[in-house]
């Protein structure tokens, strides 16, 4: 079956399925009208029930067990379509995806991949190595991957996608419309506060509850590894040469990212110009909402939505954006991309509102 044909089901496989992002992929797939989970892949939990590992998903996957990497291909038939999601770690995902694509080819499986790691966010092998300090795991695949937000990229330029990171998603949604409309100076100052799930499922000092609860602190000020990614994607999407001063913070909550972007308005820019730029950029974007005043995390957490607020005083601009780091910033954005790759409505499986009182 080829992309664009009417379909009732497309097999889906999740690599690295036991982490927080992997769990969100499983949750979203349980609600999706077309993608059907065939295999949740994890060597460490192979044979164990998904519901035992993720009790909140037991009602959706009562009969599903995790499978080892060597076994997932058995769940997909010769010649079938396949939506492959990777939540494998940075640096490891590329090699795992390369093996998966090769395995799919051996059974004539028509495959699209969306990777939630950083491995395919850079178009050049050297750029990835400069940021992460390791060689790329599958540089031969770089030409068939592209990276960017669905709201900023037209069509499907490549058969596979490397989804931008969670901080990058929140910053890019706030910055790109203004840069593209040339309403601001190119130097951006950003503060971003992230929830503890952004550090992954393995406990660390920064996610340990006694340290994080009722606390707020900056880390890696002006040195965060997502900064070069944000700049590269912002420049590609806006056609400008922006610079970024980025200070991330650890927040005392589990989910969500709240970003405050400050910059200088170009001469003559008005608040109406700013609103018009965001409207032009996101009028057809189902998940982006420009709000009066400022966003609230509780309005977006556990959803694929982003709220954006904008303020202007003299020539000072402040843009605030709020997303869920695990959904819009990872699994939800990846599902949005996969919907497009299979010519499905981008809202499929993603239209549930935020619960509000998380």
Mean pLDDT for the chain overall: 95
Of the candidates 342, 358, 22, 337, the one whose C-alpha atom is nearest the C-alpha of residue 150 is 337
According to the model, what pLDDT value does residue 122 have?
96
Q: Dump pLDDT digits (tens) for 59-89.
A: 999 889 999 999 999 999 999 999 999 999 9
- Indicate whether 212 pLDDT > 90: no
Q: pTM for this one? A: 0.95
Furthest-apart CA atoms within the chain: distance in Å: 63
Residue positions annotated with a catalytic role = 166
Contact 169, 259 (CB under 8 A): no
Q: CA angle, 260 as apex, 169 and 24 as ends, to 5°?
A: 35
Mean pLDDT in residue range 139-154: 98
Counting DSSP H helices and E strands in the chain, the numbers are: 9, 13
Q: Give residue limits of the domains in the chain.
A: 10-147, 167-326
Quick one: pLDDT at residue 7? 66
What is the C-alpha R_g of the chain? Answer: 20
pLDDT given for residue 8 in this prediction: 86
Does residue 266 surpass a pLDDT of 80?
yes
For position 42, what pLDDT does the model report?
97
Alpha carbons 246 and 230: distance in angstroms, whole number:
10
Residue predicted with more confidence, 284 or 199 = 284
Q: What is the CATH number of domain 167-326?
A: 3.30.360.10
Neighbours of 228 (CB within 10 A): 17
- Label residue 148 left, alpha or beta by phi (over 0 means left) and psi (-120 to 50 means alpha): left
What's the rounded mean pLDDT across residues 180-189?
Answer: 96
Phi and psi dihedrals of 3, rounded to 5? -60, 140
What DSSP character marks residue 67?
B
Q: Say whether pLDDT at 205 is over 80.
A: no
Q: What is the pLDDT of residue 6?
A: 57
Is the pLDDT assigned to residue 211 strictly greater than 90? no
First to last CA, the chain: 41
> CB 57: neighbour CB atoms within 10 A?
20
pLDDT (0 to 100) of residue 203: 73
Average pLDDT rounded to a whole number, residues 335-357: 96
The fraction of the chain above a pLDDT of 90, given in percent, is 91
Q: Which fold has domain 10-147?
A: Rossmann fold (3.40.50)
CA atoms within 13 A on the CB side of 122: 25
> Do 335 and 21 form a contact (C-beta atoms < 8 A)?
no
Mean pLDDT of the 310-332 span? 97
% of the chain surpassing 70 pLDDT: 98
Asked if residue 1 has pLDDT above 60, the reply is: no
What mean pLDDT do residues 195-201 have?
80
User: What pLDDT score was predicted for residue 198?
Assistant: 78
């Amino acid at each position: 079956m080829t992309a664009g044909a009417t379909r009732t089901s497309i097999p889906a496989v999740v690599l690295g399925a036991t982490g927080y992002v992997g769990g969100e992929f499983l949750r979203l797939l349980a609600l999706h009208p077309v993608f059907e989970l065939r295999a949740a892949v994890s060597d460490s939990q192979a044979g164990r029930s998904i519901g035992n590992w993720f009790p909140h998903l037991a009602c959706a996957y009562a009969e599903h067990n995790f499978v080892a990497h060597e076994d997932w291909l058995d769940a997909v038939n010769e010649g079938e379509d396949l939506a492959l999601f990777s939540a494998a770690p940075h640096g490891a995902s590329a090699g795992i995806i390369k093996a998966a694509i090769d395995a799919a080819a051996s059974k004539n499986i028509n495959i699209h991949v969306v990777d939630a790691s950083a491995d395919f966010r850079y178009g050049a092998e050297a750029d990835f190595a400069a940021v992460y300090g390791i060689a790329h795991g599958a540089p031969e695949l770089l030409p068939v991957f592209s990276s960017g937000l669905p709201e900023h990229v037209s069509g499907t330029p490549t058969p596979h996608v490397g989804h931008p990171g969670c901080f990058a998603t929140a910053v890019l949604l706030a910055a790109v419309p203004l840069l593209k409309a040339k309403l601001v100076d190119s130097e951006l100052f950003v503060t971003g506060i992230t929830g503890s799930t952004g550090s992954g499922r393995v406990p660390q000092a920064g996610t340990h509850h006694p340290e994080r609860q009722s606390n707020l602190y900056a880390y890696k000020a002006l040195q965060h590894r997502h900064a070069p990614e944000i700049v590269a994607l912002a420049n590609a999407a806006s056609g400008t040469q922006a610079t970024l001063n980025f200070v991330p913070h650890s927040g005392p909550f589990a989910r969500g990212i709240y970003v405050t972007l400050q910059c200088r308005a170009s001469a003559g820019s008005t608040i109406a110009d700013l609103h018009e730029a965001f409207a032009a950029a996101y009028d057809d974007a189902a998940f982006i909402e420009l709000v009066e005043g400022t966003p609230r995390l509780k309005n977006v957490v556990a959803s694929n939505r982003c709220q954006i607020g904008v303020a202007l005083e003299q020539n000072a601009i402040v843009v605030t954006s709020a997303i869920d780091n695990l959904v819009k910033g990872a699994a939800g954005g990846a599902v949005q991309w996969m919907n497009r790759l299979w010519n499905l409505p981008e809202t499929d499986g993603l239209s549930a509102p935020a619960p509000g009182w998380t």
